[in-house]
Amino acid sequence: MHELSIALSLVDLAREEAEKHGGRVCALHVRIGALAGVVPEALLASYEMASADTPLEGSRLVIEDVPVVVYCPECRAERALSSVQVFCCAECGTPTGQIQQGRELELVALELES
């Protein structure tokens, strides 16, 4: 359960960014890849704890799940993975570990109120 550590980092980063732009944070938009090692539900619960007694208290955390996309050397194309247990091209079955997307752990945007 390291989502609390991640939520604390998120609070730090969001506070830093909010200070740059000014205003009160009412929502945070984050992208979490399927290979980021983070459980979205656990992050939501942790965020509430991490943001308590900070200027971010009461803000909404909006999580976008990012699926894994690999590059298939056979098809020469990017393919969505059907399962994180099977790193194969979904079209031709060629094994591939060339991850193009899915490791994201990103604060994309803030909604600020003045």
Point out which residues bind another protein (CB under 8 A).
1-2, 5-6, 9-10, 12-14, 17, 21, 23, 26-27, 30, 35-38, 84-88, 95-97, 99, 103, 105-114
Residue closer to another protein, measured from CB, 49 or 109: 109
Task: State which residue, 52 or 108, has the beta carbon closest to another protein.
Answer: 108
Give the nearest distance from C-beta 78 to another protein in angstroms: 16
CB of 65 to another protein, least distance (A): 14
> Are 92 and 74 spatial neighbours (Cβ–Cβ below 8 Å)?
yes
For the bound state, the minimum distance from the C-beta of residue 29 to another protein, rounded and expressed in Å, comes to: 8
Spatial distance between the Cα atoms of 9 and 1, rounded to a whole number of angstroms:
14
Q: Which is nearer to another protein, 12 or 48 (CB)?
A: 12
3-state secondary structure of 13: helix
Instruction: State the minimum distance, in angstroms, from the CB of residue 80 to another protein.
Output: 15
What stretches of the chain adopt beta strand conformation (E)? 24-33, 60-66, 69-72, 77-80, 99-101, 105-113
DSSP conformational letter for 85: T
Residue 28: which of 16, 8, 11 has the closest Cα? 11
